[in-house]
Structure 1
Amino acid sequence: MSAALQTLAEGVSIKGNLGAIGYGLAAIGPGVGVGIIFGNGTQALARQPEAAGLIRANQILGFVFCEALALIGLVMGFVYPS
């Protein structure tokens, strides 16, 4: 590594809250989960419209569990600040 590049690398520091970056990355999981839940729920409703009540109840339950994970991640950023 050249001397100029090494000096530049030593002078660079990460500032800010890394917890915010971690939460942003952790929010991808529940986002994908909610998409899968409602996508598959829509397909299930198209295949068996007579089971709409049961399918919708299961969709809402799955949505609540996915969003609970996202909210727990948000709260952990405040409980354990970096």
Structure 2
Amino acid sequence: MIDFAMMLAQDGAGFGTMGVGIGMGLVIIGAGFGIGRIGGSAVDAIARQPEASGTISTQMLISAALIEGVTVIALILMYLK
């Protein structure tokens, strides 16, 4: 799927805009799955060890922020293409 998006993003075929759109969609879907998985795992961990909820929540927020940052950078780079 990613190879197809990269092929469409090339300017030679004239489908650059469609390739960028597919790439942006893939980035957003991947970020959504990643943050959802982090949240689910954090809830499971807090349910198992409630006394560690502060540490788990902090680590979850830091991880989610890093994923959001990478997502924004990827979207900006694709938009500039």
For the aligned pair, the TM-score class normalised by the smaller chain equals: 0.7 to 0.9
Q: Distance in 2 between matches of 1:15 and 1:51?
A: 50
Q: Distance in 1 between matches of 2:78 and 2:47?
A: 40
Q: Counterpart amino acid of 1:77?
A: M
Q: Distance in 2 between matches of 1:42 and 1:25?
A: 26
Q: Distance in 2 between matches of 1:27 and 1:70?
A: 7
Q: Percent identity?
A: 35
Q: Distance in 2 between matches of 1:55 and 1:20?
A: 35
CA RMSD of superposed structures (Å):
1.8
Relative contact order, higher structure (CA 8 A, sep 6+): 1
Structure 2 residue runs without a partner (length 5+): 1-12
Larger radius of gyration: 1
Match of 2:46 in 1: 45
Deviation, structure 1 residue 62: 0.8
Task: Check whether the contact 2:27–2:75 (CA below 8 A) recurs between aligned residues.
Answer: no
Structure 1-normalised TM-score?
Answer: 0.72
Give the number of aligned pairs.
68
Deviation, structure 1 residue 26: 1.9
Moved more, 70-79 or 33-42: 70-79
Q: Counterpart amino acid of 1:50?
A: E
Match of 2:10 in 1: none
- Structure whose residues are more often helix by fraction: 2
